[in-house]
Amino acid sequence: MRVNTYISSPPMQSLRSSQNFKSSPVVLSRDLYLAHKNTQQPILRIGPNSLSFCDFRAVRDIYGHGTPCTKDLKESVTAGSHCNLFDVVDKPDHARKRKLLSAAFAIKNLERWEYKVVFTIERLFKAFDSLSTAPLKGQIPDQADLTVDFCNWINLWTIEAINFIALSDKMNVLDKGIDEVVAERRDGTLYKARYRYSLEQMVSWSSTFCWEYDLFPWVEWLVGVIPSKWKSQQRNGRAFGDIVYRQASERLRKYQAGEKHDDFFQSLMEDKSGNPNNLEWGEIVAEVAGIINAGSDTTAMALTQTLSLLIQHPQHLDTLRNEVDSAMGQDEMVAAYDKVKDLPFLRACVDEGLRLMPPTAAGLPRRTPPQGAQIMGEWIAGDTSVNMSIYACHRDESYFPDPEIFNPERWINPEARRRLESAFIPFSAGARSCLGRNITYLEQIMLLASLVHRYEFALASPDWQLPRMEAFNMVCGSMPIKIWKREIAQS
Ligand code: HEM
């Protein structure tokens, strides 16, 4: 098979080597997608042993349930002392972990999570009410009225929501308006650290340097000794491990004190009949890390992106509002899930946001087995790193005509939706697809419905663009907005 080599263009280089947030949308995934498109090559070599695919057929072969590929070694070299569901490579070990956690993540648990989501939305809206301004006059808001950094607040909200759902903990970040929490070192000493900040610092340096897996342990060591911005990022990022340790330890203390809570931690400790699972403490901490990491920033990115797209497309925001208003009472602050979960336009907005700007946009690396594998009818040698980007898949014009347009209408017809869903993979596909999908839909649907029902919004200017940095996920920068209460909410 002939594979063209993709030499990275300047935007890709600049992302790897320098500044964090760029005002242009998606960089790395878009760059690679355009390289495939411009060369009309469905397979490109992006490293000495790494291939990128850009054809929907590759999804089934690389990620589908019957795939012979495993997660790539990237996961093993970046994992801690114990693997979690997300980074475990060994298939039987993954199946064991997935079975253990599936019960906790099952859709029948929605009722158990809903009141936690309601409680957290009420606290977010308390903050938004206090930051509300007078209704907008004219088109462009005064700078002084841009009182809400939506991306910051929604990250605080998802931090609170996932820690409440998973660990029954109220973090107080929504009350303070900042992601400052307590971190605990292994020696038991405590210090204050920033949740979202440390998570972003961690992914920023590691996704920059984790390309050559054999060399990564050396590179990691070098980054830690040579004074540079990467060294500070590595140090700052370590705090996330201590935050996780604090969260897990506090919850363990409650468990040992005999407190019973209906949350994920309980499912890690005991099965449904109350028999102990006897997991090692290191494995429990690793699973907690996976959940409170994967469960916070992804949903925040999705909501930030979807709201920015809705504000930029007022006709869709109006349609959404009309639909939500018809399902919610005038004086209702938080949408009951049952009332809004089947609203077609609401779901269409959530899905169209996830399609156009998937929070995990890049190709998730997988490894072919030693004997090689067939991908898209081509034989690919053993131990090759292969991926197909989610960003590219969502731009397949045979499924999504005018793929760059934010058009929720494309999801409305049920038959059309069924067809689109087969090319819609924001949560990846197959046995390693996202386990938190039910939770994020619950959160996004309830939050978005409640938000548009209660508030109006304006961005700083018509040509404002959401700053982004691609570091495994599509990390969003600030989104300053003016908000004001709708008349419906005033009453
Ligand atoms: C919009 C929100 C979300 C998106 C776009 C998203 C996306 C993804 C993707 C693409 C993967 C596959 C990663 C890979 O193969 O390397 C994944 C896996 C995973 N996600 Fe999510 N996720 C979201 C929300 C959540 C939430 C809320 C949770 C937990 C509460 C969660 C927990 C997980 C876990 C545990 C895995 C690993 C599954 C496995 O390997 O078996 N995710 N997610």
238 Cα–ligand 1 center, Å: 22
Three-state DSSP state, 335: coil
Structural tokens at position 239: 């705090």
**Closest CA to ligand 1's atom 36:** 434
- Give the CA distances from residue 228 to residues 198, 218, 220, in Å, rounded to whole numbers and listed in that order: 17, 16, 13
| Residues 476, 466 contacting (CB under 8 angstroms) | yes
Residue 470 CA to ligand 1 center (angstroms) comes to: 16
Transcribe 253-272 into DSSP letters.
HHHHTT----SHHHHHHB-T
pLDDT tens-digit profile, the chain (491 residues): 545 555 433 233 222 233 444 444 446 899 999 999 999 999 999 988 999 999 989 999 999 999 999 999 877 777 777 889 998 999 999 999 999 888 888 878 788 899 999 999 999 999 999 999 999 998 899 999 999 999 999 999 999 999 999 999 999 999 999 999 999 999 999 999 999 999 999 888 887 877 778 888 888 888 888 888 888 888 988 999 999 999 999 999 999 999 989 899 999 999 888 899 999 999 999 999 999 999 999 999 999 999 999 999 999 999 999 999 999 999 999 999 999 999 999 999 999 999 999 999 989 999 999 999 999 999 999 999 999 999 999 999 999 999 999 999 999 999 999 999 999 999 999 999 999 999 999 999 999 999 999 999 999 998 999 998 888 888 999 999 999 999 876 55
Among 238, 180, 181, which residue's Cα sits nearest to residue 206? Answer: 238
CB under 6 Å to ligand 1: residues? 85-86, 98, 162, 290-291, 294-295, 298-299, 302, 359-360, 364, 426-428, 432-436, 439-440
**Domain coverage including residue 360:** 4-490
CATH code, domain carrying 162: 1.10.630.10
> What are the binding residues?
434
Please state at what angle helix 195-209 crosses helix 150-167, rounded to 10 degrees.
Answer: 100
Distance in Å, CA 101 to ligand 1 centroid: 13
Strands 455-459 and 43-47: what pairing? unpaired
With b for 16 or more beta-carbon neighbours within 10 A and e for fewer, the 198-233 pattern comes to bbbbbbbbbbbbbbebeebeebbeebeeeeeebeeb
From 29, 112, 434, 470, give the residue whose CB has the most ligand 1 atoms within 8 Å, as the site to mutate: 434
The residue type of 308 is S
Q: Which atom of ligand 1 is nearest to the CA of 440?
A: 27
Residue whose token pair is 């929490």: 181
Cβ-based neighbour number of residue 470 at 10 Å = 24
Q: For ligand 1, what atom is nearest to the CA of residue 165?
A: 30
Beta-carbon contacts of residue 196 (< 8 Å; ≥ 6 apart): 155, 156, 159, 179, 296, 297
Residues in the chain: 491
Distances (CA, A) of 391 to 51, 211, 298: 16, 20, 15
CA of 353 to the centre of ligand 1 (A): 17
**What ligand 1 atom has the least distance to the C-alpha of 162?**
30
Indicate which atom in ligand 1 lies nearest the CA of residue 302: 1
> In whole angstroms, what is the distance from residue 72 CA to residue 52 CA?
13
Distance between Cα 293 and ligand 1 center (Å):
10
Total structural domains within the chain: 1
The rounded Å distance from CA 430 to ligand 1 centre is 12
Return binding residues for heme.
434
- Contact of 470 with 15, CB cutoff 8 Å: yes
DSSP 3-state of 56: coil
